[in-house]
Chain A
Amino acid sequence: SESRAEPETGASNIVSTVNLGCPLDLKFIALQARNAEYNPKVGVYVHKIREPRTTALIFSSGKMVCTGAKSEEQSRLAARKYARVVQKLGFPARFLDFKIQNMVASCDVCFPIRLEGLVLTHQQFSSYEPELFPGLIYRMVKPRIVLLIFVSGKVVLTGNQVQHTHTHAQ
């Protein structure tokens, strides 16, 4: 099938990690900071901020995972905001090793896709099990990403660590 309309893409989620460089007292932070919860079973505290809308998981070793940002810049900004909060509470926080771990993007190719045809031609990359999951799982090798392709034409791309926009031609 030919592509008629222009596919719209948008990153919907970015996961990144950063090392704050100093051990933290989680209970203290959770009590002082706004919008923070401490989960002793896991050993982590969950801190949510509203602007940019992200969630951070902060560990007692000082390592932090930041999720929910919509772009890399926002993710970096949000991570810095968290570090600032921790710093204001008196811990010597630094900003080491900011690394983006995962990016999820979704796009719409605006035409229905025949998954059976796709799996016949790209057998070694595709995995389509209608009993297990209605979408086709396509593992692309060159940029190492996984795409979930649905019949409606919606495609979800994930696994990449660098922003990568592409059009999918059948």
Chain B
Amino acid sequence: MSRCEDGKNEKRENQVSVWICEATEKQQRRRDGLALPKVQCPNHPDAILVEDYRAGDMICPCCGLVVGDRVIDVGSEWRTFSNEKALKDPSRVGDAQNPLLNGGDLTTMISKGTGAASFDEFGNSKYQNRRTMSSSDRAMLNAFKEISTMADRINLPRNIVDRTNNLFKQVYEQKSLKGRANDAIASACLYIACRQEGVPRTFKEICAVSRISKKEIGRCFKLILKALETSVDLITTGDFMSRFCSNLGLPKQVQMAATFIARKAVELDLVPGRSPISVAAAAIYMASQASAEKKTQKEIGDIAGVADVTIRQSYRLIYPRAAELFPPDFKFDTPVDKLPQL
């Protein structure tokens, strides 16, 4: 914003320029405080203006006054259809920006040449450099792609992926874990995001979609918690019930029974020191054995990622008080005393 010189106030022909100068001055002063020049309806300064993009107007909703006109349309220039002629994309703006996660990608790339002059003797294109898009954030973009791939394998919703991306960005900017493999940090961020959203995934499940070992993910997990100074809630048996039971194809009754059993077992402290996953698996085993849909320990162990001896151990602990653990309205296909004893 250029400031106009003083001393032009008297001359009539410069009156307009003075007004413009005053207007820009006002804008500049406002700009120091606010980000945008504020248009508002003169009668209703508090009303939020409605934008009519077709006519390019800003309209006050209270009195209908057209406050700003000839507003620049921010919609897309061309309509793009998915047909064969996809070579020429006439859009001049490219992909949507990802402002939260990137540094603001405003670089220019040089596209492949057309015509004979752009190829040298061997048939290679003369100007080859279209690779360095955003070298500073290349690793981060790579990691986002990896996170997206991992999340896709276990069908995680978009909000978890976004949260993971945010966590990764925070960790990456902090640089305290710079020496660790990016994939390990990405896997640990995914684990933390699932926990924070209230749908925790076991380490073994994250391991299954990542190339990093459980030990390394665990180490990165602890480091990230310390670096970001956050903490996560403890896992409970109920978090995994719906997933494990639907993977096994058990009906809702059995799932609810298993949830009840696991919760009761933890309340009565029958299984001190056992991982909640093992307790959940044992509870599912007991519930399925008491119903019509009996599952073997091996099947449950496969789904939950626990060894079947672990299920056996936890089952032995809850078996003595099996009668109290079942919910009161449960329909037994196999009565409690006929439950298998291992």
A contact residues vs B (CB 8 Å cutoff): 112, 114, 116, 119-120, 123-124, 127-132, 134, 150-152
One of A112, A128, A151, A152 near B234 (C-beta < 8 A):
A128
Whether the Cβ atoms of A132 and B218 lie closer than 8 Å is yes
Q: Are A134 and B275 in contact (CB under 8 A)?
A: yes
The answer to whether residues A123 and B231 also contact, given A130-B275, A151-B272 and a CB cut-off of 8 A, is: yes
Contact A116 B203 (CB under 8 A): no
Q: Known interface pairs A119-B234, A123-B231, A124-B231. Does A131 touch B273 (Cβ–Cβ under 8 Å)?
A: no
Question: Which residue of B221, B222, B234, B274 contacts A116 across the interface (Cβ within 8 Å)?
Answer: B234
Which B residues between 257 and 311 are near A, CB-CB below 8 angstroms? Answer: 269, 272-277
- Closest chain-A Cβ to B221's Cβ sits at a distance in Å of 8
Task: A150 to B273: give the CA distance in the assembly, Å.
Answer: 8
Given A116-B234, A124-B231, A129-B218 contact (CB < 8 Å): yes
Q: How far is the CA of A129 from the CA of B235 in the complex (A)?
A: 9
Residue contacts A-B, CB under 8 angstroms, 13 given: A112-B269, A112-B272, A114-B269, A116-B234, A128-B234, A129-B218, A129-B221, A130-B274, A130-B275, A131-B277, A132-B203, A134-B273, A150-B273
* Residues on B with beta carbons closer than 8 Å to the beta carbon of A150: 273
Cβ-closest 9 pairs across A and B: A151-B273, A130-B275, A151-B272, A132-B218, A131-B203, A123-B231, A134-B273, A116-B234, A131-B275
The CA of A128 and the CA of B221, in the complex, are separated in Å by 12
Chain B residue nearest in CB terms to A119: B234
**B40 within 8 A of partner (CB):** no
Number of interface residues of B (CB under 8 A): 16
For B276, the chain A residues whose CB sits under 8 A away are: 130
B202 at the interface (CB under 8 A from A): yes
CA distance A119 to B235 in the complex (A): 12
Please indicate the chain A residues that have their CB under 8 angstroms from the CB of B221 in the complex.
129
Residue of A nearest to B225 (CB): A127
Do A127 and B273 contact each other (CB < 8 Å), given the known contacts A116-B234, A132-B203?
no
What is the interface of chain B mostly: helix, strand, loop, or mixed?
loop
A131 touches B272 (CB 8 A): no
| Separation of A130 and B235 alpha carbons in the complex (Å) | 9
List B residues 222-248 near A (Cβ within 8 Å). Answer: 222, 225, 231, 234-235
Q: Which residues of A contact B222 (CB under 8 A)?
A: 127, 129
Given A151-B272, A151-B273: A131 touches B234 (CB 8 Å cut-off): no
Query: Residue-by-residue, is B171-212 near A (CB-CB < 8 Å gives 1, otherwise 0)?
Result: 000000000000000000000000000000011000000000
Residues on the B chain within 8 Å of A132, using CB: 203, 218
Task: Return chain B residues, CB-CB under 8 Å to A124.
Answer: 231
The residue in chain B whose Cβ has the minimal distance to the Cβ of A135 is B273
Given the known A-B contacts A112-B272, A150-B273, A152-B273, are A131 and B231 also in contact in the complex, defined by CB atoms under 8 Å?
no
Query: B266 — nearest CB in chain A belongs to which residue?
Result: A116
**Across the two chains, which residue of chain A brings its CB closest to B229?**
A124
Kindly name the residue among B231, B273, B276, B277 whose own CB sees the greatest number of chain A CB atoms within 10 A: B273
A137 to chain B, nearest CB (A): 9
Chain B residues whose C-beta falls within 8 Å of the C-beta of A114 in the assembled complex: 269
Tell me which of B203, B221, B234 has the highest count of chain A C-beta atoms within 10 A of its own C-beta. Answer: B234
CA distance A154 to B276 in the complex (A): 21
Closest to A126 in B: B231
Bound CA span A16–B226, Å: 29
Which residues does chain A contribute within 8 Å of B273, judged by CB atoms? Answer: 134, 150-152
Which residues in A have their C-beta under 8 angstroms from that of B202? 131
Minimum C-beta distance from A95 to chain B (A): 38
Residue of A112, A120, A128, A132 with most chain B CB atoms under a 10 A cut-off: A132
Give Cα A134 to B276, complex, Å.
11
A116 / chain B contacts, CB cutoff of 8 Å: 234
Q: How far is the CB of A136 from chain B (nearest CB, A)?
A: 10
Bound-state Cα–Cα, A131 to B269, Å: 18
| Contact partners of A130 in chain B: CB under 8 A | 235, 274-276
